[in-house]
Amino acid sequence: ETGVTQSPTHLIKTRGQQVTLRCSSQSGHNTVSWYQQALGQGPQFIFQYYREEENGRGNFPPRFSGLQFPNYSSELNVNALELDDSALYLCASSSGVGYSGANVLTFGAGSRLTVL
């Protein structure tokens, strides 16, 4: 079975620009979660998508938005980039009813975003 794949792996943007990160979930998984991992910190939950709907959101501003497609792949969009948005963005997929509690998250290798 294929794992979680993310693209691009690295990218550099300037402040104020917009970025789109993509994620293909593991085969058989219907839920996608996005996390932001700043340097030297643990991942922080951004949001989760289940059945193409946002199923939960962390403490991130509205300029962080997402989509889930019928094939369960997902996009993370960040508008008006700020320097503090520089981080590793991790996508994780899981199966089940959309709750992370009992469902094991399978993580991708991440997209490293640098904002200059």
Partner 1 sequence: AQSVTQLGSHVSVSEGALVLLRCNYSSSVPPYLFWYVQYPNQGLQLLLKYTTGATLVKGINGFEAEFKKSETSFHLTKPSAHMSDAAEYFCAVSDPRLADMRFGAGTRLTVKP
C-beta of 80 vs 104, nearer to partner 1: 104
Site string for partner 1, 60-89 (x = CB under 8 A): ------------------------------
Q: Binding segment for partner 1 among 12-20, 61-69, 72-80, 90-98 (CB under 8 A)?
A: 90-98
Q: Binding segment for partner 1 among 12-20, 42-50, 68-76, 77-85 (CB under 8 A)?
A: 42-50
Query: In three state form, how does the secondary structure of the chain look?
Result: CCCCEEECCEEEECCCCCEEEEEECCCCCCEEEEEEECCCCCCEEEEEEECCEEEEECCCCCCEEEEECCCCCEEEEECCCCHHHCEEEEEEEECCCCCCCCCCCEECCCEEEEEC
